[in-house]
Amino acid sequence: MADKWRTEKKRPTIKILPWPAIPTPTVDEVYAGVDEKKKEYSLWVESAVRQQFNADKPESLDGIRVLDCTANMQIGHWCSSHFSELGAEVIMVEPPGGDPTRKLTPFGRQEYMFQDKNGGKCGARFLAEARNKFSVTLDLEKEEGRALLKKIIPQVDILIENAPPGHYDKLGIGYRQLSELNPRLIYLWVGQRGQWGPLKDEPGNLDPTAQCSMGFVHGTGAPVAFGGTPTRSGWWLCDQVGGTFAAMGAMAALYARERFLGHGQFVECTAAEGVIRIIDYNWGWHGMDGSIRPRYGNWDLAINIYAVNPCADGQIMVGGGHDRLWFRIWRTVGKDRPELEQHICEDPKLRVVTDRLPHYMQVETYTTMCDWTKDKTRFECETALQEEEVASGGVSFLDEVCEFPHYKYRGHIMQVDDLNYGKVLIGASGFIGMNTPGRVKWIGRPVGQDNEDVYRRLAGLNRENLSGLKKGGVI
Amino acid sequence: MTAAVSKNVKDMTFEDFCRAVFDTTKRFDKPEVLKGIRVVSTTQYILGPSCAAYLAELGAETIKVELPKRGEPMRHTTPFNEPFLYPLSRWMPDKGTGLGFFGANPNEYFLSLDFHKPEAIQIMKRLAAKTDVFAENYRAGTFDRWGIGARQHMQVNPRVIYQWMGGFGGWGPGRNRASYDILGQAQGGCFSITGWHKEYGGMPSKQTIWIMDYWGGAISAFNILASLYWRDNVSGKGNFLEYSQVHGAQRHLTDFIALYGKTGIVPQRFGNWEPLLCVHGILKCGKSSYPNSKNPQEQEVGFCLVSAYKDEDFAKLCKLINRADLAKQYPTHADRVAADAQSAIYPELDKWAADKTKEDVDKACKAAGILSQPVLNSKEVSASEHWKLRGTIQWIDDPTFGDVQTQGPAYQLSETPGRIRWAFKPVGADNEYVLSKLCGYSGSAIADLEQKEII
């Protein structure tokens, strides 16, 4: 193990660059020299969807109220972000003291936490998914807490929870009880593996539990022969994918309610099942011939060329599965190294798309390609390949991502100037649209900041009730 | 809730109640959310098709339009050129569709159409006039140039929700760039934080799934559902939606971006450990669970996630591996989670697991009251009763291909569940159905279109 990693005590000072460190290109710069007819469509789309006009447009889920009662996991918060970005009123119901994930910060480093104006601290992982949400505290383990929840429930459209299977039911606030109070309620349970079925009591937990349990980890990373091991995703992938499907389920229920059903329903989604749904052909392939999907590093089992390979200053992605792109890629390579182009294009075994897929053909392809990329930087490879309209790009690190002109120009990366937390750089809402775009209005709230507002507004509590509940540790 | 369930609903145990309302054998007895909603999908690869497929699972009549003869390129991708489902089309019985096509095209109707011919453009216009959702992922502006883009459709059919999906989007400095899933992963930053650090012999690694495609399709489908909701309950208006594939990565990495903005730190790879929690990582177990198997996937040594980040769990874990001294050395989570501590603790755990299979480690942890999860391969997951019962992985009797194992919808709905009717169909399988139903073509007119190679 490298000793230079042992730097807990003597950490280097890092210069914090302003963002953007390099100015974002202007409209004139972006479209300089492009003829009128060609840029006409781009300018139309830009005028239709540019984020700077968002605030003047309606929101598709305005008027929908969501209670996010999840804690200790990312999946529920990720799920409710979909609703809050599109305009629903999302209220995070946290246990008194706040959701424990607020305290998580890489390597426990307090200086990485975000501070609100009253000195309260919040970790980046939690804050990232607190966008546009309100925060109230409520102890649902206490009778008074549950009574307060029941009082609010008739005014709620969607409730999200992630307690252990059946726990809310036992407390008297499960789907069976709450749907009697509010038949229009959509009740969503999220978790790692489900609240029914043989694995239901395998304890739910944070990612990467789900990643390990459904085949993702086994399939990610390089094969043993290439010195690799099973590898987890660097972020909580299953929680975040599962959260998106949970949101889709709840949204479908909401649409069904308004369209023909008239009442709500019970929805369940898990982190593992979200990724089981999207893990390509794993199940079909195993069902056909018993194959177990192997790891294949940064190459692809089913497409050649479609890979990330080393180059002089990092790694470069090149993709072009079908003939049109295949020959363009080799034409690009051939400009510098005609013998490599010749080697590949004259090989009769590489002539048909599907013939290029067996392992030894992939080895031949990428070995030849790396002979070209090894002396070139990411930028040089990228530029040469893009001249031939081939999909290509270098593996970027986060500082490069944050400064990438395209992302800055389109607002994929944005700085929120927040009332509580000051300026925070984030990934913007993925919902880009003409009439009802998603947006980020504030980045998050300190624990329980909206107790007074929400409980007065929705439960009619007065200051006496509120201070009583506070004293009793209910809120 | 159906009457039979509601009668004794209060007396059931919670699990029985769940099994009754989510019963996967009853999915076809229940209504569909999107019945009567029509989706036209002129999409290829995974991003666009998966978006349309999620809507088709919910019951939308989804018509996939692809080029005649060979169909879309994804039909010609399959792991190592081995598994194919036959036929590719009724005209090409000796060729098959590769499994790359799998999972992103269930429940759809398949129309073949050559856009380069003027008659085909007329057919597209007629379809778009009576569709609720139009999804496409051609290069931005191509359909506009052909007269079948958002601007033209929305004039004829103001209620249409037009979803464009693609690489970099139709505007901005990168608008002309082509993109694929792994370009989104690579250039968006996903690679840079996945895998082991260079010091540990690792390099940036991709996520094995076409994640930016499948996930991008999912949030596009969510946005379409929200737009349908807004159209039908609020405004009566359609929408134009744009999804850029590379955007997905930035959305997923929000907390890393926030950290960079605040501290200037560029997050690095931390392998199978977890920067936020310790112990919450994947251990290497020294022994294979199937040493006599002929499959190299099974001969590999096992791996197992162990999660014991709370103080009491960590104490149990230290006791289990006979290193109570570690619990004394790192009594609080703040002590353990520091980078130095993590690189000292995990090698000790790996040492303990060196003579065990993943099942041994799992069993020992569970007996000691610690959370654990062995790293399962696709065979082990396929064999799990849990996913079968829940319909997540299911065998279906496919009308074209017979018995096929496939994934089911990701989520359960008690009253209006999604369902899988078929895995996919051959190229042009529904030409007659779609053209006669929606465009008024007679049998001989359709034969004529086929003759002219328009369909």
Residue A392 is assigned to a structural domain of this protein: yes
Predicted confidence (pLDDT) per residue in B236-266, tens digit: 999 999 999 999 999 999 999 999 999 999 9
Contact of B73 with chain A, judged by CB distance below 8 Å, is answered with: yes
Domain with A91, as residue range(s), is 65-278+417-471
Contact of A233 with chain B, judged by CB distance below 8 Å, is answered with: yes
Contact of A363 with chain B, judged by CB distance below 8 Å, is answered with: no
The CATH number of B31-250+425-451, from 3.40.50.1860, 3.40.50.10540, 3.30.70.270, 2.60.40.290, is 3.40.50.10540
Residues A228 and A274 in one domain: yes
**DSSP assignment of B217-243:** HHHHHHHHHHHHHHIIIII---EEEEE
Q: How far apart are CA A417 and CA A422, in angstroms?
A: 5
Looking at the complex, report in whole angstroms how far the Cα of residue B331 sits from the nearest Cα belonging to chain A.
14
Average pLDDT value for chain A: 94
- B contact test, residue of A158, A286, A305, A306 with most B CBs within 10 A: A286
Choose the weakest-confidence range: A202-206, B58-62, B185-189, B245-249. Answer: A202-206
Predicted confidence band at B5 (pLDDT cuts at 50, 70, 90)?
low
For the segment A320-331, the average pLDDT, to the nearest whole number, is 91
Looking at the complex, report in whole angstroms how far the Cα of residue B315 sits from the nearest Cα belonging to chain A.
19
Give every CB contact of residue A423 below 8 A, 6+ residues apart in sequence: A415, A416, A417, B261
For the segment A190-214, the average pLDDT, to the nearest whole number, is 87
Residues A199 and A147 in one domain: yes
Residue A249 is assigned to a structural domain of this protein: yes
Residues A93 and A148 in one domain: yes
Contact of A287 with chain B, judged by CB distance below 8 Å, is answered with: yes
Q: Which two tokens stand for residue B346?
A: 């995990």
Residues A91 and A215 in one domain: yes
Domain count, chain A: 2
Please state, as a whole number, how many other Cβ atoms lie within 10 Å of the Cβ of residue B295: 14
Looking at the complex, report in whole angstroms how far the Cα of residue A91 sits from the nearest Cα belonging to chain B.
19
Q: Which two tokens stand for residue A165?
A: 């299977």
Predicted confidence band at B8 (pLDDT cuts at 50, 70, 90)?
confident
Residues A73 and A165 in one domain: yes
What is the structure's pLDDT at A7?
A: 55
What is the structure's pLDDT at A427?
A: 95
Residues A242 and A318 in one domain: no
Please state, as a whole number, how many other Cβ atoms lie within 10 Å of the Cβ of residue A145: 23
Residue A6 is assigned to a structural domain of this protein: no
Residues A220 and A355 in one domain: no
Predicted confidence (pLDDT) per residue in B186-197, tens digit: 999 999 999 998
Whether the per-residue pLDDT at B4 is higher than 60: the answer is no
Q: How far apart are CA A80 and CA A130, in angstroms?
A: 9
Q: How far apart are CA B338 and CA B95, in angstroms?
A: 56
Residues A386 and A444 in one domain: no
Is residue A239 annotated as a catalytic residue, yes or no? yes
Q: Which of B99, B194, B377 is opposite residue A281, by nearest beta carbon?
A: B99
CATH number for A70: 3.40.50.10540
Whether the per-residue pLDDT at B42 is higher than 70: the answer is yes
CATH number for A330: 3.30.1540.10
Give every CB contact of residue B341 below 8 A, 6+ residues apart in sequence: B278, B330, B335
Whether the per-residue pLDDT at B6 is higher than 50: the answer is yes
Q: How far apart are CA B198 and CA B63, in angstroms?
A: 47
Contact of B400 with chain A, judged by CB distance below 8 Å, is answered with: no
Give every CB contact of residue B260 below 8 A, 6+ residues apart in sequence: A398, A399, A402, A425, B266, B267
Q: Which two tokens stand for residue B7?
A: 């009668």
pTM: 0.97
Crossing angle of helices A237-256 and B211-230, rounded to 10°: 20
Predicted confidence (pLDDT) per residue in A412-455, tens digit: 999 999 999 999 999 999 999 999 999 999 999 999 999 999 99
Looking at the complex, report in whole angstroms how far the Cα of residue A148 sits from the nearest Cα belonging to chain B.
23
Residues A243 and A379 in one domain: no
Q: Which of A1, A60, A107 is opposite residue B337, by nearest beta carbon?
A: A107
Give every CB contact of residue A301 below 8 A, 6+ residues apart in sequence: A293, A294, A357, B79, B80
What is the structure's pLDDT at A4?
A: 47
CB contact under 8 A, A206 and B280: yes
For the segment A180-188, the average pLDDT, to the nearest whole number, is 98
Whether the per-residue pLDDT at B450 is higher than 80: the answer is yes
Tell me which chain B residues have a C-beta less than 8 angstroms from the C-beta of A75.
none
What is the structure's pLDDT at A207?
A: 82
Q: Which two tokens stand for residue B436?
A: 């006669």
For A68, the enclosing helix (H) or strand (E) is strand A65-68
CB contact under 8 A, B227 and A60: yes
Predicted confidence (pLDDT) per residue in B420-429, tens digit: 999 999 999 9
Q: How far apart are CA A254 and CA A124, in angstroms?
A: 31
Residue A295 is assigned to a structural domain of this protein: no
Percentage of chain B exceeding pLDDT 70: 98
Predicted confidence band at A458 (pLDDT cuts at 50, 70, 90)?
very high
Looking at the complex, report in whole angstroms how far the Cα of residue A329 sits from the nearest Cα belonging to chain B.
13
Contact of B183 with chain A, judged by CB distance below 8 Å, is answered with: yes
Q: Which of B99, B203, B423 is opposite residue A285, by nearest beta carbon?
A: B99
Residues A323 and A421 in one domain: no
Residues A260 and A356 in one domain: no
Predicted confidence (pLDDT) per residue in B140-153, tens digit: 999 999 999 999 99
Residues A189 and A95 in one domain: yes
State the number of CA atoms in the 13 A half-sphere of B350 facing the CB: 14
Domain B280-381 top-level CATH class:
alpha beta
What is the structure's pLDDT at A3?
A: 47
Of the residues A99, A116, A157, A239, only one is catalytic, namely A239
Predicted confidence band at A67 (pLDDT cuts at 50, 70, 90)?
very high
Whether the per-residue pLDDT at A178 is higher than 70: the answer is yes
What is the structure's pLDDT at B112?
A: 97
Q: How far apart are CA A364 and CA A330, in angstroms?
A: 13
Q: Each residue of B383-416: b (16+ CB within 10 Å) or e?
A: ebebbbbbbbbbebebeebeebbbbbbbbbbbbb
Residue A13 is assigned to a structural domain of this protein: no
Q: Are B261 and A19 in contact (CB under 8 A)?
A: yes
Average pLDDT value for chain B: 94
Domain boundaries, chain B: 31-250+425-451, 280-381
Measured on CA atoms in the order B51, B55, B56, B58, is the torsion positive or negative?
positive
Q: How far apart are CA B54 and CA A442, in angstroms?
A: 30
Nearest CA in chain A to B413: A267
Residue A108 is assigned to a structural domain of this protein: yes
Contact of B254 with chain A, judged by CB distance below 8 Å, is answered with: yes
Residue A448 is assigned to a structural domain of this protein: yes
Predicted confidence band at A2 (pLDDT cuts at 50, 70, 90)?
very low
Give every CB contact of residue B229 below 8 A, 6+ residues apart in sequence: A60, A61, A251, A254, A255, A258
Predicted confidence (pLDDT) per residue in B157-173, tens digit: 999 999 999 999 999 99
Predicted confidence (pLDDT) per residue in A129-169, tens digit: 999 999 999 999 999 999 999 999 999 999 999 999 999 99
CB burial class (10 A; 0-12, 13-18, 19+) of residue B4? Answer: exposed
